[in-house]
Chains A and B, each alone.
Chain A
Amino acid sequence: MTTNVPTLQVEELQTYFYTKAGVAKAVDGVNFTVDKGQIMGLVGESGSGKSVTGFSIIGLVDPPGKVAGGRILFKGEDITNAEEERMRSLRGSRIAMIFQDPMMTLNPVLRIDTQMIEAVQAHEKVDRQTAFERSRDALGQVGIPSPEERLKAYPHQFSGGMRQRVAIAISLLHKPDLIIADEPTTALDVTIQGQILYEVQKLCRERGMSLIWITHDLAVVAGLADKICVMYAGKVVEAGTIGQVIDLPLHPYTHGLIGSVPSHNKRGQPLEQIPGMAPSLLSMPEGCAFHPRCPRADTQCLVEPGPTVPADPDHRVRCCHPHLEGAA
């Protein structure tokens, strides 16, 4: 395999949930590419489909959800609706996942060493001793002091930040090519968040791992990622490099998101906010899904879903009236 093949290509991904109340299009035509060693931020508010995108990639969308269309290419291999055996051999070894709540991702009744050794042995035929050493080294790498003793502990004896480190260590055990991190620092306080971000960034650079960082926190992504995809109502509304999207946002929604971030230079002024709520996936507005909340919407937006406008070769926006005047 040549080095030019991107780690992950997602093409027109559609993940639908067939509920009794109707078909919920949680992910509806999402495109992005993650190159080797690249960190991509997947940003959006609750219910925008960013987590479902992550689960679709790893092949763990729970029924009644289903990948209904599109393709997911992992290092050039089509893994869309791949066989369970193939997916299981990828999960945890080539593609790893880190979850939001570190209190919940470790089994409360099993010791850390049990869980880590099990994770090692799930994909490689190694004896307990080797697996133990691997686990110990992994814990050391994510900055856990005296890993040998800590391995013997139960999850409830760790703090939240420590547990998230353990979860990250578990995801690193097999040196995966891709890590999908689903809001991994949301439940942590800011100082711990900073440490974790630093560790993860360092590990990605050192090992050439690709990372998809799913979050609703633009500030985190701005400091961490190389590129960014903004999702709204199951669609990518804007994608580009960090510099492009953060400094010159084209989509009114991205504009609103950036405006909603409290920052020190706007002290005393009321915060900007995006009016209204994300639409229900079952009753999506006609035309552009964002138009009921959009300050720039007009009659065109009621009918057209918004064309994908490439403002730059790698900066795309899906909008009828993007903020192009700012780019000039």
Chain B
Amino acid sequence: MTVTTEVNKVLDERADSGAVPAKVETPFRRFVSDFADSKIAIVGFLTFLIILMIAILAPWISPTNPYDLATVDILDSRLPPGAEMMNGTTAWLGTDGLGRDMLSAMFYGLRISLGVGVTSGVFALCIGVCIGLASAYFGGRVDTVIMRIVDLQLSFPAILIALVLLATLGKGVDKIIIALIVVQWAYYARTVRGSALVERSKEYVEAAACLGLSHNRIVFRHMLPNVMPPLIVVATVQVAHAIALEATLSFLGIGLPVTEPSLGLLISNGFEYMMSGKYWISIYPGIALLITIVSINLVGDRLRDVLNPRLSR
């Protein structure tokens, strides 16, 4: 019986392939349906979307504006969660040492953390991809020089490089983005170079060269789409890393100015009150940071499973 069903299935498939398919199954569509097979990945993805929406809409959904120093009242400082502030709004997650509403500060902090993480990630990706592709495509001496520089940089801890850079550049959102780009490009370059080397040896690249296409076209139009899968995985993981690294730097007090707190800076602000029972100033931003990073990593893990054919599914 199973044999007949098998045969029928094969026959059905033949009938299907014979006719011109009404809707072409693009690689992208297949990828989306594969991704959606995992419930936990969907949860992670939705969580990330919510966090993203909060970050984008922060100025409109926050109860107060933590950046507006005129509205911040020092008498509100260190109120416990649920207490009412001087201006009548309820501080659901308490207030920090300066009297800022924690919930609002976290919304804005998330905005800065994600903004810094994604911006630096995108720039580092572009730089890393160009360098990695050039390295793999031209090979030889170009490749050796570039990869030794990458090795050199990766042999230092990321936090050390960022610390040295920020100590030289000073404080500010733009400075920390620059520092994170410098730290991250090497990861992208190495990943892209690795998979581009594999693609380089495939016949379609040779065939493209035989068609007389230019280097630019072969590299960006033919090789780049084929190295995207590992790149997407590394990009998600790196964005999470960047957010964590920014939080670390802010916690150490060398990242962002105190007036524009990111999640890391909020944690750092509450750190001194931890032992006196005022847990909320550090714990809530910490939880927000944790959820953000975990949700991005969940998505990244699933992407890796879907995009890596060697892992059995």
Interface residues of A (CB under 8 A from B): 58, 60, 63, 88-93, 96-97, 99-101, 104-110, 118-119, 122-123, 146, 149-150, 152-154, 157, 167, 170
A146–B209 touching, CB < 8 Å:
no
From B139, B204, B206, name the one whose CB has the most chain A CB atoms within 10 angstroms. Answer: B204
Q: Which residues of A contact B207 (CB under 8 A)?
A: 97, 99, 105-106, 167
A110–B140 touching, CB < 8 Å:
no
Which of B203, B211, B225 contacts A119 (CB under 8 A)?
B211
Report the separation of the CA atoms of residues A258 and B266 in the bound assembly, to the nearest whole angstrom: 82
Can you list 25 residue pairs at the A/B interface with Cβ under 8 Å? A60-B210, A88-B214, A90-B212, A91-B211, A91-B212, A93-B212, A97-B207, A97-B210, A99-B203, A104-B202, A105-B203, A105-B207, A106-B204, A107-B208, A108-B226, A109-B226, A110-B221, A118-B213, A118-B217, A119-B213, A122-B214, A123-B212, A150-B20, A152-B24, A153-B24
B226–A92 touching, CB < 8 Å:
no
Q: How many A-B contacts if CB must be within 8 Å?
A: 77
Q: Does B155 contact A (CB under 8 A)?
A: no
Q: Which residues of B contact A154 (CB under 8 A)?
A: 24, 26-27
Q: Does B157 contact A (CB under 8 A)?
A: no
Instruction: Tell me, rounded to whole Å, the shortest Cβ–Cβ distance linking B43 to chain A.
Output: 29
Which of A58, A101, A108 contacts B210 (CB under 8 A)?
A58
A157–B21 touching, CB < 8 Å:
yes
A107–B204 touching, CB < 8 Å:
yes
Interface residues of B (CB under 8 A from A): 17, 20-21, 24-27, 139-140, 202-204, 206-214, 217, 221-222, 225-226
Interface of A is mostly: loop
Q: Which residues of A contact B24 (CB under 8 A)?
A: 152-154, 157
Report the separation of the CA atoms of residues A63 and B212 in the bound assembly, to the nearest whole angstrom: 18
Instruction: Tell me, rounded to whole Å, the shortest Cβ–Cβ distance linking A192 to chain B.
Output: 16
Complex: chain B residue closest to A64, CB-CB? B140
Instruction: Tell me, rounded to whole Å, the shortest Cβ–Cβ distance linking B19 to chain A.
Output: 10
Instruction: Tell me, rounded to whole Å, the shortest Cβ–Cβ distance linking B242 to chain A.
Output: 28
B225–A110 touching, CB < 8 Å:
yes
Q: Which residues of A contact B27 (CB under 8 A)?
A: 108-109, 154
For the complex of A and B, list the 4 residue pairs with the smallest distance between their C-beta atoms, beginning with the closest: A92-B211, A92-B212, A91-B212, A104-B203
